[in-house]
Structure 1
Amino acid sequence: MRFASLGSGSKGNATLVQAGETTLMIDCGFSLRETTRRMQRLGLSPDQLQGVLVTHEHGDHCAGVARLSAKYQIPVYLTHGTAATGRVDGAHRLHCFNADDELVIGDVRVQTVTVPHDAAEPCQFRLSANGRSLGILTDLGCITPHVVGHYRDCHSLLLEFNHDLDMLLAGEYPPQLKRRVGGDWGHLNNTQAAALLRQLECTEQLNNLVVAHISEKNNSRESAELALASVLDSLEPVVWADQVDGFDWLQV
């Protein structure tokens, strides 16, 4: 199994996962044209997708889903709550599930995981194939025992390091947005993400740790690295997901 990103951040997110004969996309926050261009950079085209998995209805994760699905006849997998928002109306076909259900899509087993986020019925995903496991975990405001239990023993992990709390509080966002981003239903800050890694007790076995969904205004690589250094012996396995370029294929 391998995975790559078309881009990660508040301006758009999409992650590709391949195993055997199956290619899946997790979220699509880019236009159809931009999605196609970014997929070509990774050697793929949209007609090779067997499905799009949606974490929640916010625009940076689902704005491009309906058009991509309709044009290329790609099924979309999402929670009942996400579907009810209408944000993916017009898609080719919707497969609705309850958060925490397990799915099998082609050669990939998908465990859906409920997370605390300010959306209708948000979830994240742990994907398994060929004895390997990949955790995708962004867009949650706090760490819960439920999340910790579902993300132990991953071989690769894409994890949100959204903001530095001090930078967020001192930054230009209006007070309401600061409360939203920094609250229990918002996004993980660097310290929280590092604490989660500590609780998962998986750093020694991680083949890849991808730092993702990094705020361009409220975080810095230096701050994230400082948090990571508190829990990792080395930053060698760390990959940085970029808003413009995402990251290239990584083996799980």
Structure 2
Amino acid sequence: MDFCSIASGSSGNCTYTGTDHTALLVDAGVSARQIEKGLKSIDRAATDIDGILVTHEHSDHIKGLGVLSRRYGIPIYGTKGTLNAIANCSSLGTIDAGLYREIHVDEDFQVGDVTVHPFEIPHDAAQPSAYRISHEETSVAVVTDLGVFSDYIIENMKDLDAVLLEANHDIRMLQAGPYPYYLKQRILGTHGHLSNENAGRLLCRVLHDNLKHIFLGHLSKENNYDALAYETVCMEVTMGENPYKASDFQIRVAERSEVSQLVTV
């Protein structure tokens, strides 16, 4: 399977994954033009995309969804709550209801030769989900926008070959920053976003010998920066109660507006 971040950050998110026969996007939170350009840079095209898996309806995950789905007739997969919220989002324009594909958390579904397993995440959206995508013995996952992690989340992230995991904010930067109090509390809450420290702690629970690629994603523009997220997560891994060091893994930050390396697992 191929795996690549087209864009990742608080201002827009889109991840590509696929096999020789099936191509998927997880979210379309930047413009259709940026997604098209990103796909071209990895020798893919929007006409290749077999489906868009939507995690939730916040604008940084659906900004380009309307244009992209209309232009290429791409099916949109999401929970009932997410699809209803998308249908009521006037900024997306009219999307043909025939493109919607309702899915249910904890129930696998097929897109081409790929199996998708959606699982519930705690976030302040209508009915959000993360996605684990598998082909034969290989699995990748996109896990962002969760305020806390649980044994359920950990179970759904076991034995992955690659993952894009949220490392949204540095707690001290957020607390001292310009955001209003209510927004700080939202981000820090159980239905907000994972801090760098908690991203590292979650990672410690799912590390294994065959986890080949780790992307840290959904970084806040105001309350984080690449080197800080990377160093904090690496410290948690190296100092945590696990047999590994951060240097045992390919850990990198998924950039806000640059396409990551396309990795194959």
TM range (shorter): over 0.9
**Higher helix residue share:** 2
Q: Does the CA contact (< 8 Å) of 1:137 and 1:158 recur in 2?
A: yes
Cα distance in structure 2, aligned partners of 1:72 and 1:12: 20
Residue type at the aligned position of 1:234: A
Q: Secondary structure at the match of 1:140?
A: coil
> In the alignment, which of 190, 211, 219 is matched to residue 214 of structure 1?
219
Q: Which runs of 5+ in 2 are unaligned?
A: 239-244
- When residues 31 and 93 of structure 1 are mapped into structure 2, their CA distance, relative to the original with a 3 A threshold, is same
User: 1:205: which partner in 2?
Assistant: 210
Shift in Å, 1:162: 0.5
Cα distance in structure 2, aligned partners of 1:213 and 1:103: 26
User: 1:98: which partner in 2?
Assistant: 104
Residue type at the aligned position of 1:73: G
RMSD over equivalenced CA pairs, Å? 1.5
Q: Does the CA contact (< 8 Å) of 1:125 and 1:137 recur in 2?
A: yes
> In the alignment, which of 231, 243, 252 is matched to residue 239 of structure 1?
252
Q: What are the residue-to-residue correspondences of 1:56-205 with 2, within 5 Å?
A: 56-85=56-85, 86=87, 87=89, 89-91=94-96, 93-200=99-206, 202-205=207-210
Shift in Å, 1:63: 1.6
Residue type at the aligned position of 2:53: L
Deviation readout 1:39-82 (Å, 9 max, x if unpaired): 22221221111111100000010121122111111111111000
Cα distance in structure 2, aligned partners of 1:32 and 1:218: 27
Shift in Å, 1:191: 1.1
Cα distance in structure 2, aligned partners of 1:150 and 1:194: 17
Residue type at the aligned position of 2:126: A
Q: TM-score, normalised by structure 2?
A: 0.90
Percent of pairs with identical residues: 34
Q: Does the CA contact (< 8 Å) of 2:38 and 2:259 recur in 1?
A: no
Q: Does the CA contact (< 8 Å) of 1:99 and 1:121 recur in 2?
A: no
Deviation readout 1:195-221 (Å, 9 max, x if unpaired): 111222x24321001111111211133
Q: Does the CA contact (< 8 Å) of 1:116 and 1:184 recur in 2?
A: yes
Cα distance in structure 2, aligned partners of 1:186 and 1:139: 7
Q: TM-score, normalised by structure 1?
A: 0.95
Q: Does the CA contact (< 8 Å) of 1:164 and 1:219 recur in 2?
A: yes
Q: Does the CA contact (< 8 Å) of 2:140 and 2:161 recur in 1?
A: yes
**Higher strand residue share:** 1
Shift in Å, 1:170: 0.5
